[in-house]
Amino acid sequence: MAGEFPGGATRAVVFDLDGVIVDSFDVMRRAFRTAYAEVMGEGPAPFEEYSRHLGRYFPDIMRIMGLPPAIEEPFVRESYRLAGEVTVFDGVEPLLTELNRRGLRLAVATGKSGPRARSLLNVLGIAGHFAHVIGSDEVPRPKPAPDIVERALDLLGARPEETVMVGDAVTDLRSARGARVGAIAALWGEGDPGPLLAERPDALLRRPSDLLDLLTPSLPRARS
């Protein structure tokens, strides 16, 4: 890790979804290739370019890439169809369980739409760890704007100085910084760590359990 988060007791954690909680890269690749072929016809789907924009809302990626918004419908359809093939990263569920045990408030703030994110978490059986799951279609401006993190703070009843966000994309870190919360980079996904390191995050996590060492002091077990 880069070092301890320079704040007091952390009481809330906001997570990105893809590349942090779930390993959806292969499913995303397959869904994008199918959707591209349906809308654009023959030819290689530019997934490598698409992957450089992960963390953003899908319609924004299409706009940046100069691709038609019609690609979204088959992409979403295929994403739902393949949801059962998405996996939870090793170590994530024990981390979430321990954070819940400590009484921290957890939310997801994702580039996906809210309904699709909540559906995926339900399919994977881990939705119950999170008090709130917020999609990019549920805020005025998606990442890298701070709106989605600010919405999470509001729903969690948390202050910026007692909150961190864990993400695997530059857009996550910039959204966190805009909302004045701790910006923490997760390095266990498939993304290129170079751009994340260039953003100088407040801390680096090489495996999910590293977050437990970062959050000090531990809160007492919540009483039932």
Q: What is the pLDDT of residues 96-107, one digit of tens each?
A: 999 999 999 999
**111 in Cβ contact with 143 (< 8 Å):** yes
Rounded distance between C-alpha atoms, residue 53 and residue 107, angstroms: 22
Residue 80 lies in a domain: yes
Please determine, for residue 61, whether its predicted confidence score (pLDDT) is greater than 60: yes
- Mean pLDDT of all residues in 182-193: 90
Residue 101 lies in a domain: yes
CATH number at residue 109: 3.40.50.1000
Give the residue numbers spanning the domain of 106: 12-23+87-214
* Residue 22 binned pLDDT confidence (cut-offs 50, 70, 90): very high
Please determine, for residue 129, whether its predicted confidence score (pLDDT) is greater than 50: yes
Rounded distance between C-alpha atoms, residue 95 and residue 8, angstroms: 20
Please determine, for residue 205, whether its predicted confidence score (pLDDT) is greater than 60: yes
Share of the chain above pLDDT 90, in %: 83
- Mean pLDDT of all residues in 136-151: 97
> Which residue did the predictor score with more confidence, 4 or 213?
213
Per DSSP, helices labelled H in the chain are 25-40, 47-51, 58-65, 72-81, 92-102, 114-124, 147-156, 170-178, 193-198, 210-214
Please determine, for residue 192, whether its predicted confidence score (pLDDT) is greater than 60: yes
* Residue 220 binned pLDDT confidence (cut-offs 50, 70, 90): very low
Structural domain tally of the chain?
2
Q: Are residues 44 and 75 in the same domain?
A: yes
Residue 3 lies in a domain: no
Q: Are residues 147 and 104 in the same domain?
A: yes
Please determine, for residue 63, whether its predicted confidence score (pLDDT) is greater than 80: yes
